[in-house]
Amino acid sequence: MTILVTGGAGFIGSNFVIDWLRQCDEPVVTLDALTYAGNLANLSELSGDARHRFVRGSIGDAPLVDRVLRQNTVRAVVNFAAESHVDRSISGPAPFFETNVMGTLSLLEAVRAYHGTLSGDARAEFRLLHVSTDEVYGTLAPDEAAFAESNPYRPNSPYAASKAASDHLVRAYHETYGLPVLVTNCSNNYGPFQFPEKLIPLVINNALAGKPLPIYGDGRQVRDWLHVADHCTAIRRVLEAASPGATYNIGGDNQMPNIEVVRMICALLDARHPRGDGKSYAGQITFVTDRPGHDRRYAIDARRIAAELGWRPAVRFAEGLAATVDWYLDNRSWVADVTSGAYRDWIARQYG
């Protein structure tokens, strides 16, 4: 049997594919459209590995998805495919709804048709796991209880609205058609292979380049930070043990204001890669105008997944952040390729 991972050349998807094949020998087919944040270099560790097959394509290409499902006897789909950057969604919302809503709808239709051809154990054990975000729940006041799975959806950005819509579609396909789906809503991820538009890799990259470290507003926006390795173990656990139709929130149990995260990064870089003038990277911190509709606080209540499936985060934030800084210091050529677009030139040559 085989699992299909959509969006598997992106940040979280590639970490999941690599982790999966480190843990077991069940083959993986990775489907990715290789847009700006999808990068085959993320999967270079698997080059020549017979257990892994890469297919370039979109979840919106129903005939392609159908062929991949049928030709590989797929027993589970893990859907990471999404446009995911809030700032980009504010400046240009349309691609987020094309991929996150219409793409998810197309994927659901292809999976529903494929599921209808299965019988016996193959039909009973099939799963579609849809990976989503805590941003669908909106924002929290400083003293408000963390997001539970029963919280109403109140998205405040076009990105969050598109993910909320995709979540509703997935749940509707379970209720209407009996499709055996699972939904996970995670907090902010960090770790290797994250495209340097997100806070942590952006700060590391800008600091090393001598550029300003832009902080929205007062920098006191609170996020719950989840190491991507913990996220991968949580998804594996949900996929293997959860009942169809279930939803689980996945968090890192680490709420921290953005400005404190940035200062921690600066301190780590001061120790590991000091500036030539001997000053702290913190001197590059620059406060900029806050973005529209900026959610003030996210926090995840992950008691359900702990109680029902026994999962808890294992990576402490200080240790995970230090390891992440080290990874970006050790992989500056990867950062240079993705920020310059050089990897996309290779894709154009390779795929025409």
Position 352 pLDDT exceeds 60: no
Half-sphere exposure of 16 (CA within 13 A, CB side): 30
What is the mean pLDDT of the segment spanning 181-204?
Answer: 95
**Catalytic residue IDs:** 134-135, 159
Which sign, positive or negative, has the C-alpha torsion 225, 307, 24, 247? negative
Alpha-carbon dihedral of residues 329, 317, 210, 192, nearest 10 degrees? 40
Q: Which residues pair with 131 in a beta bridge?
A: 184
Q: What pLDDT does residue 1 have?
A: 87
Site of tokens 């990715």? 32
Distance CA(82)–CA(105), nearest Å, equals: 12
Neighbours of 93 (CB within 10 A): 16
Exposure class string for 58-67: b at 16+ Cβ within 10 A, else e = bbbbbebbee
Q: What pLDDT does residue 87 have?
A: 85
Q: Which residues pair with 227 in a beta bridge?
A: 190
Q: How confident is the model at residue 255 (pLDDT cuts 50, 70, 90)?
A: very high
Distance CA(241)–CA(311), nearest Å, equals: 11
What is the mean pLDDT of the segment spanning 177-181?
Answer: 98
What is the mean pLDDT of the segment spanning 234-263?
Answer: 98
Please report, rounded to a whole number, the percentage of residues in the chain having pLDDT higher than 70: 97
Q: For 86-119, how does the pLDDT look when each residue is reduced to its tens digit (9 = 90+)? A: 888 998 999 999 999 999 999 999 999 999 999 9
Q: How confident is the model at residue 202 (pLDDT cuts 50, 70, 90)?
A: very high
The single-letter code of the amino acid at 308 is E
Helices 62-71 + 104-115 axis angle, to 10: 40
Q: Which residues pair with 292 in a beta bridge?
A: none
Domains defined for the chain, CATH in brackets: 2-190+228-253+295-316+341-351 (3.40.50.720)
3-state DSSP call for residue 157?
coil
3-state DSSP call for residue 304?
helix
Average pLDDT, the chain: 95
Residues 6+ apart with CB under 8 A from 204: 196, 265, 269, 324, 325, 328, 329
E strands, the chain, in order: 2-6, 28-32, 52-56, 74-79, 127-133, 181-186, 188-190, 213-216, 222-227, 247-250, 255-257, 285-288
Q: For 127-150, how does the pLDDT look when each residue is reduced to its tens digit (9 = 90+)? A: 999 999 999 999 999 999 999 999
Looking at per-residue pLDDT, the higher value among 352 and 69 belongs to 69
Instruction: Please classify residue 337 by burial: count the beta carbons closer than 10 Å to its beta carbon, then call 0-12 exposed, 13-18 middle and 19+ buried.
Output: middle
Position 279 pLDDT exceeds 60: yes
What does the DSSP 8-state code read for residue 231? H
Distance CA(116)–CA(54), nearest Å, equals: 25
Distance CA(109)–CA(186), nearest Å, equals: 25
Neighbours of 272 (CB within 10 A): 11
Residues 6+ apart with CB under 8 A from 245: 171, 174, 175, 180, 181, 182
Residues 6+ apart with CB under 8 A from 298: 134, 135, 137, 139, 140, 147, 187, 188, 222, 223, 224
What is the mean pLDDT of the segment spanning 24-43?
Answer: 94
What is the mean pLDDT of the segment spanning 260-275?
Answer: 98
Site of tokens 């996220």? 231
Q: How confident is the model at residue 286 (pLDDT cuts 50, 70, 90)?
A: very high
Position 347 pLDDT exceeds 70: no
Six token digits for residue 326: 């080290």
The answer to whether the beta carbons of residues 9 and 80 sit under 8 Å apart is no
Quote the Cα angle for 189-81-328, to 5°.
40
